[in-house]
Amino acid sequence: MNSFPLYRPTVDAGDLVAIAGQIGLVDGQLVDGGAAAQTDQALANLQSVLKEAGLTTSDVIKVNIFLTTMEHFTVFNERYNAVFSTDPPARTCVAVHELPFGSLVELEAWAHRR
């Protein structure tokens, strides 16, 4: 799964697990379909990384969200809320100038091993 040198999708820090930024990539290619499709894929990638670490979205305690424009917030928020529908984690959402691979959306998270 790790196709980028020196990229670690997770780092354990005691009971906490830092999850690296997830964007809408599949097999190294950004998915088509704009912010909605990229959000769906970034969330799916996050869930995959969590699963590999033995965690689920219910273990996530904090999510940092990066959007290239706040115009994508509504569509992002709808999809995010579908994944984190019960006891959602704390979150921060900011607009940034640019993201890797021309992505429109990136998520990073912290999870707690219970």
Give the CATH number for residue 51. Answer: 3.30.1330.40
Q: Is residue 88 part of a domain?
A: yes
**Domain containing residue 63:** 10-112
Percent of the chain with pLDDT over 90: 91
Q: What pLDDT is attached to residue 7?
A: 78
Q: Is residue 3 part of a domain?
A: no
Indicate if the pLDDT at residue 91 is higher than 60: yes
Indicate the average pLDDT of the chain.
Answer: 94
Q: Is residue 103 part of a domain?
A: yes
Q: Is residue 2 part of a domain?
A: no
Q: Model's pTM, two decimal places? A: 0.92
Q: Is residue 4 part of a domain?
A: no
Q: Is residue 49 part of a domain?
A: yes
Q: Is residue 5 part of a domain?
A: no
Instruction: Indicate the pairing of strand 29-30 with strand 10-13.
Output: unpaired
Q: Is residue 100 part of a domain?
A: yes
Name the domain count of the chain.
Answer: 1
Instruction: Give Cα separations from 25 to 29, 53, 54, 107, 109 (angstroms).
Output: 5, 19, 22, 12, 17
Q: Tell me: the pLDDT tens digits for 16-47?
A: 999 999 999 999 999 999 999 999 999 999 99
